[in-house]
Structure 1
């Protein structure tokens, strides 16, 4: 080999094999878990009732401090940072010794009414003879409480024509409702309604006023016979045809109905306050 000859250098490239770990599997499992949770929530929402969805929404809308102290949600701060005023879980410098689980939630009364509605629906659906009357029952939550309306049809009237005589299926329905209404301490009002068809004598003799009142009291007697506590009754009234269910058709059979209201505390107070203001000495003098 001559001195000017350059050495031959052979370079071999090292091939590094990269082994992927299992991190992608963890990410994929998290994704599938979240997807399963999403479909589970959607399924629960599709099978729940409107009342259940409102109760869940109200639960998350209620601030924690209000839920713990049982205060008024409308007066609570929407900020998560305390701004001032007394600590809701303290009183006069000492921690209140209370079990927060025993405190009623602000809308617990509304939830109880929703549960009563669901209970009534379940009992009616389970009774073969009463399930045929389900189309004549209308229940909803109003500002006064749970309203249960029992409406007439031409094929199946609740009372004998022009009479307070209760039909047999109406009697069975009222006797079934009585123990269910006893499950809550809420007070009850009963009102009778008629259509616009008047008696021959008009309003001078026996009229729709007397008929609606008689039907309301006939319903009251059936409920009491079924076990309803008489102390739960707050008001029994006849409304004639003044509050029609279908105001576009005064002669609609649905206007002939019995309306039961399971009152909330606010509506009971309003009725009693009105009664006190109308009683002798209950109103303030106008002055000289």
Structure 2
């Protein structure tokens, strides 16, 4: 009788680990990516098709994206605009059309502006050389200041403590002041640009109730105009004569300083002259209600 084999068979159970099921999510992500790229390239194509002024207007619109006039609520409004949103350049129904985009300067305009700047810079150099050569102007060299400003070439004739340009509290120019202005006139006449004349005083009040620094500064500016004309300046070349009293001091820390008493001549550049002309034309235009008023 045989021996019974009691050995139990060893059963190995294999655990099958199934791979994760990816499904179709990657296809959705890829489709979104492809759609985004198509939209991006379409945007680039549309931007390339726009004119330069339209691109500028579109950029300005996104800086201040309000569809209405008034103060914009978005913090992206450009500093200094103060007018709220700009209309869109695209004709969406219900939104205003953009009509106030200033035209970009043409190459011809840029050339004229560059020639204007070069002309004023050359005038400044000529004036500085003339002052160095002139025996009449040499003693007053420190009282003649010149620089280029956004309006043009500025020439300031300032008082010194012991060498004023005008008689005390008077609009009568002293002899050397007349000589300076007439010498300058002969040089300024070399350019066609028009001239602005401004009178300034210090903060010391005058001893007259009926005559203030406002009248004095204006009268001194007008006296300077007469001296320029006497020196050969054409009357039509004078664009503006104003008096600013003591409101724009040269020395802000000392309102009564002698340097605050001065005459400022500005040989206007083309942009400043055009802006001044537009301002005069605007002031000369009667209000709309006056145009519609019935005649008596």
Which TM-score bucket, shorter chain as reference? 0.5 to 0.7
**TM-score, L = length of structure 2:** 0.59
> C-alpha deviations, 1:148-197, integer Å up to 9, x for none?
00000111100011011111111111111111111111000101000000
Check conservation: 2:147, 2:155, Cα contact below 8 A: yes
Q: Which of 215, 228, 233 is matched with 1:210 structurally?
A: 215
In the alignment, what sits opposite 1:238? Answer: 243
Q: Which of 194, 203, 207 is matched with 1:196 structurally?
A: 203
Q: Over aligned residue pairs, what C-alpha RMSD do you find?
A: 2.5
Number of equivalenced pairs: 186
In the alignment, what sits opposite 1:115? Answer: 122
Q: Secondary structure at the match of 1:138?
A: strand
- Match status 1:269 vs 2:274: yes
In the alignment, what sits opposite 1:10? Answer: none
> C-alpha deviations, 1:65-107, integer Å up to 9, x for none?
xxxxxxxxxx9xxxxxxxxxxxxxxxxxxxxxxxx9xx94651
**TM-score, L = length of structure 1:** 0.60
> C-alpha deviations, 1:191-248, integer Å up to 9, x for none?
10000001134xx511101111111111111110111111101011111111111111
Gaps spanning 5+ residues in structure 2: where?
Answer: 1-55, 57-106, 290-296
- The 3 A distance-change label for structure 1 pair 212 and 105 is closer
In the alignment, what sits opposite 1:160? Answer: 167
Q: Secondary structure at the match of 1:227?
A: coil
2-structure distance, mates of 1:277, 1:284: 12
Matches within 5 A, 1:23-42: none
Q: Secondary structure at the match of 2:137?
A: helix
Q: Secondary structure at the match of 1:128?
A: coil
Q: Secondary structure at the match of 2:239?
A: strand
In the alignment, what sits opposite 1:259? Answer: 264
Which structure has the greater CA radius of gyration? Answer: 2
In the alignment, what sits opposite 1:175? Answer: 182
> C-alpha deviations, 1:226-284, integer Å up to 9, x for none?
11111101011111111111111100110000000000111111111111222242x56
In the alignment, what sits opposite 2:227? Answer: 222
2-structure distance, mates of 1:249, 1:133: 22
State the Cα distance separating 1:116 from its structure 2 match.
Answer: 0.3
Check conservation: 2:113, 2:270, Cα contact below 8 A: no
